[in-house]
Amino acid sequence: MSTHHKTAAQRLFEHAGDLLIVLDESGYFRAVNLAAEKALEYDSTALRSMTLEQLVIAEDRKRMLDFCHNVRNGEGPKSVEAELVRRNGERVRVEMVCQCAMDEAGRKEIHIVARDVSGRRTVQMELRESEERYRRIVERSPEATIVLVEGRIAMLNDVAVRLFKAPGKKQLLGMTFEELVHADSEPTLSRYIRTMHDGGGSSPMLEERLLCVDGSMADAEVVAVPVRWSGMEAVHMILRDVTERRRAEKALKASEKKFRSFVENVFDAVYQSTPNGDMLMVNPAMVKLLGYDSEAELLRVNIARDLYADPNERGPMLRETEQKDERRNIELRLRRKDGRIITCLENTRVVRRANGDVMYYEGTLRDITDAKRVQEDLRKSEERYRAFITQSSEGIWCLELEQPLLVTLPVDEQVKQLVVRSYLKECNHAMARIFGHERPEDILGARMSDLFDMSESTGMETLRIYVRAGYRLSNFESTMTDPKGRNRYFLHNVIGIVEGGMLLRAWGMQRDITDRKEAELQLRESELRYRDFFDQDLAGHFISKRNGTLVACNSAFARILGYENVAEIMRVNADAFYPNPSARAAFMARLRTKGRMETIEVDLRRKDGKLIHVVENVHATFDAAGDILQIQGFLVDITEQKNLEQQLREAQKMETLGTLAGGVAHDFNNLLAIIRGYADLLKRESLLVEKGKKYLEPIETAVKRGAGIVRQLMTFAREDKQEAAPLDLNKTVEEVLQLAGVTIPENVRVEQHLEAGLPLFLGDVTQLHQALLNLVVNARDAMPHGGILRIVTSSVPGSYVRTKFPEAEAERYIRITVSDEGEGMNAETRLRIFEPFFTTKGVGKGSGLGLAVVYGVVRGHDGFVDVESNVKSGTDFFLYLPVSEQPLSAPVVPDVSTAATGGTETILIIEDEPMLLELLRVLLETSGYTVLSAADGEEALKIYKSRMKEIAVVLSDMGLPKLGGWEVFQKMKEINPKVRSILASGYLDHGLRADMLAAGAKDFIQKPYVPDKILLRIREVIDEPAS
């Protein structure tokens, strides 16, 4: 062995952590290391005169002698535990591993490696913790890791699962590693694994070909290390996927010969590397630059771990390189093999595959360490030269960083580090006075947060601006409060000193501009008062150029036109606000002529395409040639006002039509009552031949049809309300569909979607039947070529209905939707569909009352009707009916069957239509009654006062001259509280009817009169027991 190697071995022996002992053939100490001297508390000189037997306690001495004897003879175990006695008498238990060897003279000697195992229990616990840590390390390892126990996989991490392209760990656990290795690799790996199980050492790094679970191949570098796992001998295998590297290597080999000569002879260091940090190629200059012995040695290092001065720097630098595809003249701090840090100038670029993935990086490095050192000397010289700034009247300062800051870190991380690491290293007297001190020494060393406002909105944001601007601030303004409580304003100029990609310090200067700022603030406050008025006004203010470019506007202007904010609308040309170019051109022409326009109404288009109606005041400024320079004005959105006006006009029109319909119905009902009554009398006439009676049947049919039209008119007028009852609207829909089913052709398919559990609705079933039937018939007629007729019921919240009808008051509504797939309607038709007698059907195919009746029925029930339709897109009608706040129960229908009969009592008839009065008189007299008659209310009262005791029942029309039926009834009640009165009318307000019933009226009879019903009800009222 050479002297050099002996010296090195001696150093290792002396400084080893374990106790190293050499015994001669007789058992005397021949050599010990420092750890043994310390553990036994004897120096080496004292130990050379002693035998190991002397230090072993009596109980272990014989066993120790036998052990040493067996070691010398190459027999028995090679390790033993024994207790030794230290110099101070304390005992220490050690585990010794012994081996017999020959010295240079050929004499036997025993080499012992001993370890203090006194705290074995503690050590065992630590071993368990170590094993757990080992498990966590394996799981989190960035490299694929596998643990083999008895040749089978007992543990692996997720990276290994991905390497073998397995669905999960379960598919790999229990497999032998040989099953996952290509046949060419298996003998080599198996040999090393068996060696480790037999106590052999770690394997060298092997490059193997693996078989993945999906049948594909992968290349990997494999290192195997013997370990203990759960108390058993195991093999820890680390696999690094080098498939991509192998592919890259193959691609590189093809072109390597073309430039190898150039690369090997160039002065700059040249390299190629993978994203994983492996070197693919280096030239001799690279080897020399980094101080390695050969290219092969350098190719085995990991770039981030072994070459970067700060391993964390490589990731950000690679990301920046990949973003730009290349970087030039980048300063980089690298670590040579001997540990010395050098600064290099790097030029690098990304080489990508056809799909854009990174294949490898290639670049050059030049050592600029000496040049940087010269720059450092120059910088220090320049800083000494700037000492004269201490006399400056402006505040000058230098903030130093305790540790240089990497400029490629994220902005927020740099800001955080600046606040934490920066302190005031230098400043002049002017700067000290700014902070209320006489001498710079009073504040030197202060942290950045002690000097400047570091709030998020002020200091932190300023630092972000400083970092993003490349560590430079020019004419940046700030404010602070001086020791006297006065606000002071300063103008800052700051520059950061960056070297080698690291921020070292920052120099700054600040000037007191308080007087100037106070003057500016006063001016700005004046401007803000105007701006506040401008921005807060509810009217939309704007200023624009002739070409439509907006110069300024307030938030109300943006809101009116449907934009999120002022910034968004400022990017839009004013031409876009008009429905069409001609509208904009007409507006500009009028403005050019008039110069100023006030309260003009204009249609504009919002961002979402909807038209709005606005009132606008606008004026223009002109140049010398008379052309418009600028347009200024404001506008107010009156769309809702216009819509309400339109709704009011429609409501007034419908109300007028309703009044007209009610009046027509009343008069027409009287005519029908006369015709029907006399026809009925004729049928009763015994002298009328049978043929004549048949002629009366068409008359009765015509009367019934006329009465149907009257009911529709009265329904539209909302004056034909019957008694409301709780209804199941789903059942009502089913009844209507059953009724209309026979009239619906086969090419029309009916679908119904009825929501279960709808609340009961308080309404008139007859009217609702009529309304729904009208909608179903209309839907049927709208689809002559077939389609789907769909009826849907659902419950909706009142808040939803109020978005369409603001006057809606109920908390919930039942919505009935009737839809068809017909031709649809245009906007003009939609505006008129609820008008009485308006129809789009041909002559003889419709009365024009159907939808008017629907409107009247729904509005009569405090509901709402909505319609959506477009040409060729079908039509949807929506009926919204309010749900009663009171709980409802299904009505009980009484069973009534009574035949009409006459009598001998006196009846007072009040009717202003002479023919109808005569009809009633004849009908009652022929039934045995005595009849008194009056043509108006005043005459009726006179008769009742004079003959009250004779009169059994009063039958009165509601619409009487001089004194109406309601007034007559009230005055009769004053005369006789027990008066029995039946009222009759072609229509009657539902509320008034309820009031009159509560006041004592006995009943109502609907015109036109049906003789049998009149006779029956009069008889029932007379026969009622007196109350």
Q: Which residues is 181 bridged to in the sheet?
A: 210
**Span 815-833, average pLDDT:** 85
Q: Which is more confidently placed, 618 or 207?
A: 618
Q: Which is more confidently placed, 510 or 863?
A: 863
User: Using CA atoms, how far apart are residues 58 and 428, in angstroms rounded to an integer?
Assistant: 79
How much is the pLDDT for 188?
A: 65
**550 pLDDT more than 90:** yes
User: Using CA atoms, how far apart are residues 311 and 798, in angstroms rounded to an integer?
Assistant: 65
**437 pLDDT more than 90:** no
How much is the pLDDT for 798?
A: 92
- Least confident window among 190-199, 474-483, 580-589, 632-641: 190-199
Type of residue at 120: R
How much is the pLDDT for 335?
A: 93
Q: Quick one: which of 240, 232, 185 has its CA closest to 211? A: 185
**Span 273-288, average pLDDT:** 90
Q: Which is more confidently placed, 13 or 510?
A: 510
| Rounded CA Rg of the chain | 54
How much is the pLDDT for 376?
A: 82
User: Using CA atoms, how far apart are residues 598 and 579, in angstroms rounded to an integer?
Assistant: 21
How would residue 293 be classed by pLDDT, with cut points 50, 70 and 90? very high
Six-digit token string for 290: 């980094």
How would residue 694 be classed by pLDDT, with cut points 50, 70 and 90? low
**819 pLDDT more than 90:** yes
How much is the pLDDT for 719?
A: 46
Six-digit token string for 426: 């230098």
How much is the pLDDT for 233?
A: 82
Q: Which is more confidently placed, 533 or 110?
A: 110
Q: What is the pLDDT of residues 59-72, one digit of tens each?
A: 888 888 888 888 88
Q: Which is more confidently placed, 313 or 794?
A: 794
Spatial contact of 437 and 460, defined as CB atoms under 8 Å apart: no
Six-digit token string for 45: 């000189």
CB atoms within 10 A of CB 245: 19
How would residue 1012 be classed by pLDDT, with cut points 50, 70 and 90? confident
How would residue 577 be classed by pLDDT, with cut points 50, 70 and 90? very high
- Least confident window among 29-33, 129-133, 684-688, 932-936: 684-688
Spatial contact of 706 and 668, defined as CB atoms under 8 Å apart: yes
Place of tokens 């998020």: 456
User: Using CA atoms, how far apart are residues 274 and 316, in angstroms rounded to an integer?
Assistant: 15
CA 25, 31, 35, 41 torsion: positive or negative? positive
How much is the pLDDT for 705?
A: 55
How would residue 547 be classed by pLDDT, with cut points 50, 70 and 90? very high
**Span 880-886, average pLDDT:** 84
CA dist list (Å): 129 to 125, 135, 136, 137, 569: 6, 10, 11, 12, 65
How would residue 792 be classed by pLDDT, with cut points 50, 70 and 90? very high
How much is the pLDDT for 875?
A: 92
CA 712, 718, 723, 725 torsion: positive or negative? positive
Q: Which is more confidently placed, 264 or 102?
A: 102
DSSP labels, 118-159 = TTHHHHHHHHHHHHHHHHHHHHH-SSEEEEEETTEEEEE-HH
Contacts of 883 (CB under 8 A, 6+ apart): 759, 761, 795, 810, 811, 812, 813, 814
Express as a percent the part of the chain with pLDDT over 90: 22
How much is the pLDDT for 96?
A: 86
Do the strands 611-622 and 628-637 form a parallel or antiparallel pair, or are they unpaired? antiparallel
How much is the pLDDT for 841?
A: 60
Q: Which is more confidently placed, 12 or 411?
A: 411
Place of tokens 């079908």: 874
How would residue 788 be classed by pLDDT, with cut points 50, 70 and 90? very high
**539 pLDDT more than 80:** yes
How much is the pLDDT for 287?
A: 92
Spatial contact of 739 and 773, defined as CB atoms under 8 Å apart: yes
Six-digit token string for 739: 């009724």
Q: What is the pLDDT of residues 459-507, one digit of tens each?
A: 788 888 889 988 898 888 877 776 677 778 888 889 999 998 899 999 8
Spatial contact of 123 and 114, defined as CB atoms under 8 Å apart: no
**870 pLDDT more than 90:** no
How would residue 790 be classed by pLDDT, with cut points 50, 70 and 90? very high
Spatial contact of 505 and 496, defined as CB atoms under 8 Å apart: yes
**Span 610-635, average pLDDT:** 91
Type of residue at 720: D
CA 16 to chain centre: 63
Q: Quick one: which of 929, 928, 912 has its CA closest to 1007? A: 912
Q: Quick one: which of 744, 748, 742 has its CA closest to 787? A: 748
CA dist list (Å): 620 to 550, 578, 626, 632: 14, 18, 11, 6
How much is the pLDDT for 838?
A: 62
For the chain, the first-to-last Cα distance in angstroms comes to 141
**521 pLDDT more than 80:** no
**15 pLDDT more than 50:** yes
Six-digit token string for 405: 């800051």
**897 pLDDT more than 50:** no
DSSP annotation of 306:
I
Average pLDDT of the chain, as a whole number: 81
How would residue 737 be classed by pLDDT, with cut points 50, 70 and 90? confident
Burial 776-792 (b: 16+ CB within 10 A, else e): bbbbbbbbeeebebbbb
How much is the pLDDT for 114?
A: 87
What is the set of domains in the chain, with CATH numbers? 3-118 (3.30.450.20), 123-241 (3.30.450.20), 245-371 (3.30.450.20), 382-391+404-519 (3.30.450.20), 537-637 (3.30.450.20), 721-882 (3.30.565.10), 906-1023 (3.40.50.2300)
**686 pLDDT more than 80:** no
User: Using CA atoms, how far apart are residues 703 and 1008, in angstroms rounded to an integer?
Assistant: 9
CA 271, 277, 279, 285 torsion: positive or negative? positive
- Least confident window among 172-186, 426-440, 543-557: 172-186
How would residue 933 be classed by pLDDT, with cut points 50, 70 and 90? very high
